[in-house]
Structure 1
């Protein structure tokens, strides 16, 4: 959402967690006022693609997935854009609104995870307070690690929300300079000072890794990107991508892989360049994916029903982004024993590709759909909207 930095496939006991993230995976920014603004379907589509890529990464464990589409960088940039827009209102009100939308779905999901870990011999300490407000990584045992590892994204998102009033003020003092300098912290942490191997160090590293993407969202919202020269944007973005890729491939010995989620410096530069191109392309080519929102009667009359279905799917992913992100790992965990039971049915054993990870990917999405129906209403309640099974 990149995804996690702790590689692995969901078929194993401890796969990587994404860098849901979320959408940002945690932000739909639906205005509760009577006439909410028209949503940007280009950004909504990017968020939906980011979520699909996160689930795919956790199913297949593809090391190259983050290079094809750095989901976490995309989601942090989109969230930064929404945050800059929202901060046109009083900062405390905005922060309270963001926390209200994020925490109830997290608490609902966390209740089941915590109870399951307690049943499996987990003895929590005072750090259990992070299951109330995840300003640090919530604790857990090895049995539940595949489920709770994904929470690094929510923790990082929450810190960015809290810091945004200050970050936005600093950004507006010298927009381009601050944007470029936002890559400085990850360089400092990598080359000058190694952060401690604890909750503080992990949080600091994640903030530094995705700081550029968050501030890039500010740059888009304030129109800074629109004013930049295409050649300069393309040259600097490609240089950042090249450096990130070079560093990942030349430092595989340190992590055993070129997976960006295991190499924060490479992740920071690759995401910075890639996401800048995505967001600048929107401004330069005026991409808005408005065709997704054509009246469905027009779509049907022109044979466009699949487009209407795609529009509904993008809407669903954005309205249930937090639910999909939180529950997708549990869905993939449950898919494994479920498929094991299929082997006991001769017809399934003969005709279904039970050994294929693609089959597990499909079963995982069926279970995710079930969780969306069963648990997605919590997002409506958190957003002060009428609960619905399907948005």
Structure 2
């Protein structure tokens, strides 16, 4: 099983404040420009009849000057319906205006319900790190950015937000948005393995709903081994309604206790080496990250003091890093993806800092809108996160025979770095870019949106 892979999704929160400068007249608006002579009688003029303006009233009488017409305030559905009924009773039926849809909110805003660019940027970076890791195999990549922990934390935040609605509908919606892109991808992978000689058994049901690791042969292992993330994600989605109820009763204690299961699996009970054991290990490894997403959405992190959060995060990072390096000989590497206990603590400390920074400083990265291409790239990565995750391994696999063909062209052989992994990395991204319009529409259909080549 590969521990270094990942998926998708924003929403997200930020706003803008606008200030105004106000002034006042230090003269208080008094109309007197000459001082009165005290002690002299003042003539007030002749009495006037009531209803006629006096001399002072004529001087200061308010004159209405019509300004530019302002739009009427928007009506609610209730007031509009009432006005229509009253008008129908007196003058007959009133034609109902056709509503004009308003444009979607800008992605750089968060307070209005639009996506939060801080979370979108983290998801995009996580996807790039996954493709980079699967290209170069750098063991230190997980220490620099634990993409899987970040992705589970972002998914936990969105799940907690969605569970403000009825849980059954939320779970059904999450599964509906994930499974169609998976079915499209899986049908091609299964067909390719069967053509290559693979004979499936009853376990093929996990290719329909991946609650367990889908089966496959060694020839297609590089493609299907990344499905552990989808399996773990589905289990977290199913468990989220009861998890959120327990979390709300005692947020901080539940968050701290969530690291206990992975310690028990390491030093206490050893899980079986099968689908059940793999699923249990993955859930225990990333449970803290998922609950940190809950903590952010529920406002728990915002109420905590930096003096408590920062030392706890650094302690988790220190223990996870130490464990990976100290047990390097046992696992043959310090790669966190191969060491669940180190992955759990390192991801916990890293993700806690990221989410607390968001909650404490209310960062939204709205400035991304000033960089059009970068902002557009982040948008595409988030709208096609499942497509990028599923197809990136196949893109890297296809990059190898494609580069082999380049060697047959003398100009390519002379001027292109065909033997470099960086060149394969670039070719892989080109193929991923081709897969996005070819297969990304499945994500639109799964979300019940109009299919588009690019979001």
TM-score after normalising by structure 1: 0.90
Identify if the C-alpha distance between structure 1 residues 176 and 34 changes in structure 2 by more than 3 Å, giving closer, same or farther.
Answer: farther
Q: Which runs of 4+ in 1 moved over 3 A?
A: 33-36
**1:143 equivalent in alignment to 2:207:** no
Partner of 1:10: none
> What SS does the corresponding residue of 2:237 show, helix, strand or coil?
helix
Superposition map of 1:249-260 within 5 A: 249-260=325-336
Identify if the C-alpha distance between structure 1 residues 137 and 288 changes in structure 2 by more than 3 Å, giving closer, same or farther.
Answer: same
> What SS does the corresponding residue of 2:173 show, helix, strand or coil?
helix
Partner of 2:138: 62
**1:188 equivalent in alignment to 2:264:** yes
Residue number among 186, 194, 200 corresponding to 1:110 in the alignment = 186
Partner of 2:390: 326
Q: C-alpha separation between the residues in 2 aligned to 1:239 and 1:34?
A: 47
- Asked whether the equivalents of residues 78 and 217 of structure 1 are also in contact (C-alpha less than 8 Å), the reply is yes
Superposition map of 1:308-347 within 5 A: 308-347=372-411
> What SS does the corresponding residue of 1:150 show, helix, strand or coil?
helix
Q: Which runs of 5+ in 1 are unaligned?
A: 7-16, 294-298, 300-306
Residue number among 433, 439, 442 corresponding to 1:369 in the alignment = 433
Residue number among 151, 154, 163 corresponding to 1:75 in the alignment = 151
Q: C-alpha separation between the residues in 2 aligned to 1:169 and 1:216?
A: 14
Identify if the C-alpha distance between structure 1 residues 283 and 29 changes in structure 2 by more than 3 Å, giving closer, same or farther.
Answer: closer
Partner of 1:43: 119
Partner of 2:91: none
| Offset, 1:291 | 1.4
Q: C-alpha separation between the residues in 2 aligned to 1:287 and 1:72?
A: 22
| Offset, 1:19 | 3.0
Residues 133-188 of structure 1, C-alpha deviations (whole Å, 9 max, x = no match): 00000000000000000000000000000000000000001000000100011011
- Asked whether the equivalents of residues 263 and 341 of structure 2 are also in contact (C-alpha less than 8 Å), the reply is yes
Partner of 2:249: 173
| Offset, 1:34 | 9.5
Q: Which runs of 5+ in 2 are unaligned?
A: 13-101, 106-112
Q: C-alpha separation between the residues in 2 aligned to 1:278 and 1:73?
A: 11
Q: C-alpha separation between the residues in 1 aligned to 2:357 and 2:301?
A: 10
Q: C-alpha separation between the residues in 2 aligned to 1:29 and 1:246?
A: 35
Residue number among 362, 381, 386 corresponding to 1:286 in the alignment = 362
Residues 359-387 of structure 1, C-alpha deviations (whole Å, 9 max, x = no match): 00000000000000100000000000000
Residue number among 230, 236, 240 corresponding to 1:160 in the alignment = 236
Superposition map of 1:127-142 within 5 A: 127-142=203-218
Identify if the C-alpha distance between structure 1 residues 362 and 35 changes in structure 2 by more than 3 Å, giving closer, same or farther.
Answer: closer
| Offset, 1:38 | 1.1
Q: C-alpha separation between the residues in 2 aligned to 1:158 and 1:187?
A: 23
Partner of 1:355: 419
Partner of 1:228: 304
| Offset, 1:290 | 1.1
**1:382 equivalent in alignment to 2:446:** yes
Size of the aligned set, in residue pairs, is 359
| Offset, 1:281 | 0.9
Q: C-alpha separation between the residues in 2 aligned to 1:265 and 1:190?
A: 7
TM-score after normalising by structure 2: 0.77
Q: What is the RMSD computed on CA atoms of the aligned residues?
A: 1.4
| Offset, 1:352 | 0.4
| Offset, 1:256 | 0.7
Q: C-alpha separation between the residues in 2 aligned to 1:232 and 1:28?
A: 28
**1:94 equivalent in alignment to 2:170:** yes
Q: Max radius of gyration: which structure?
A: 2
> What SS does the corresponding residue of 1:149 show, helix, strand or coil?
helix
- Asked whether the equivalents of residues 28 and 319 of structure 1 are also in contact (C-alpha less than 8 Å), the reply is no
Residues 192-231 of structure 1, C-alpha deviations (whole Å, 9 max, x = no match): 1000000000000000000000000000000000111101
Partner of 1:19: 5
